[in-house]
Amino acid sequence: MTQENISLKAIRGFHIGGARQRVTGFPETAVVRVPGDKPRSLSMNGDHMVGQMYVTHYQQAAPRSKLPVLLWHGGGLSGASWEDRPDGGPGWLDYFLRAHYDVLVSDAFERGRSGWPAYPQVLPDAPEHRSLDSIWHHFRFGPEGGYPGNDIEKLAVAHAHEGQQFPVEHLEQFGRQFVPRWVATQQQALAAYEALLRRVGPCVVIGHSQGAAYALECARRFPELIEAVVAVEPPNAPNATNAPATSPDSSAARALPPHLFIWGDFIDERAPNWQEYRAQVERYHLALHEAGTRSEFLDLPRIGIHGNSHLLIMDRNNQDIAKLVEQRLQAMVNN
């Protein structure tokens, strides 16, 4: 891990993407905004901004690379997932800032500071709200049915997979990051990511989980805007037949950028769903390779790094993995 100090010239936040949309269907209500005041009529019908996302841009005083690093988070989370580990340790944002990269951290459409659209007026269905119980096995912290329950701090380590790198005793702190998640907003999210890429590209995109799937699709659609893509445990990838050496959706029709895929541990008989996800992504990696695109599939246990969960960006060894990613990025971008 690099120990260099962080020296920034500016931190800027902005919203990008989205469009004005006429929204109707809200009932007129009477509300009291100030205690003791008379009820006043409230109508929420009218023009709303829908589809935007929020981005924080950390600008280095002396950047080491001309390419900014974009960090795209996973499902049910926000850009906060890159900031700190649940046990208080540093996240990947800290690593790449100390390595003197300009970094942009986003909250995708309908997550975090991007705001939540109304439902059913804008989005027809209610959002998904994740529980600690539901992510225990899905994020590969421990075996199915092994969620420790009430006394997490004392019981979580004993219930977790042996050698687990995620700080499971701080599971409640991780749960404080959860935000509502809609499951049918892919096109709006991709449109906002496209707007961001057109504003800051060329760049490097690092995505985790759902954010990694978005990064893969954006690299296929807009290869002229992305110099390298790092996909950390994406749950899906574009169809392997849509992985040519050049992107059919790009007017520039340039070669797809280099790809790096990263996978953690406990993806064997303990997590059959993740076996399926990884197999699909590996097919895409092979299709990229066969089409002439530089692509590396990095399975951490195969190179001697064990114990990583789906949240390897928050695992105790996350700084070592970030360093590994940076080394691969330097080779990918410079060659």
pLDDT number for residue 100: 96
| pLDDT, mean of residues 43-53 | 93
| 39 in any annotated domain | no
Confidence of residue 318 (pLDDT cuts 50, 70, 90): very high
Tell me if 290 is assigned to some domain: yes
Range of the domain at 130: 8-26+46-334
For the cut 50, the answer to whether the pLDDT of residue 252 exceeds it is no
**Is residue 223 domain-resident?**
yes
Domain count, the chain: 1
**pLDDT value at residue 36:** 80
Residue 134 lies in a domain: yes
Amino acid at 46: G
* Model pLDDT for residues 162-195, shown as the tens digit of each residue: 999 999 999 999 999 999 999 889 999 999 999 9
Per-residue pLDDT at 1: 45
Band (pLDDT 50/70/90 cuts) for residue 150 is confident
- Convert the pLDDT of each residue in 259-302 to its tens digit: 999 999 999 888 899 999 999 999 999 999 999 999 999 999 99
Indicate whether 36 belongs to any domain.
no
Percent of the chain with pLDDT over 90: 81
Residue 307 pLDDT level (bands cut at 50, 70, 90): very high
> What average pLDDT does this structure show over 191-212?
97
Q: What is the pTM of this model?
A: 0.93
128 or 33, which is more confident:
128
Q: Please report the pLDDT score of residue 240 as a whole number.
A: 67
Query: What confidence tier does 243 reach under pLDDT thresholds 50, 70, 90?
Result: low
What pLDDT does residue 328 have?
95
pLDDT beyond 80 at 253: no
What is the rounded average pLDDT of the residues 186-212? 96
pLDDT at 35 over 90: no
- pLDDT of 335 > 80? The answer is no
User: Is the pLDDT assigned to residue 248 strictly greater than 60?
Assistant: no
- Tell whether the model's pLDDT for residue 2 goes beyond 60: no
145 occurs within a structural domain = yes
Predicted local distance difference test score (pLDDT) of residue 250: 45
Q: Is residue 17 part of a domain?
A: yes
Pick from 226, 234, 237, 173: which is nearest to 204 by CA? Answer: 226
- CATH number of the domain at 14, please: 3.40.50.1820
Residue 179 inside a domain? The answer is yes
- Which tokens in the block code for residue 115? 């705001």
Q: 1 or 176: whose pLDDT is higher?
A: 176
Residue 242 pLDDT class (50, 70, 90 cuts): low
pLDDT per position as a tens digit, 84-128: 999 999 999 999 999 999 999 999 999 999 998 888 999 989 999
Q: Work out the mean pLDDT of the chain and round it to a whole number.
A: 92
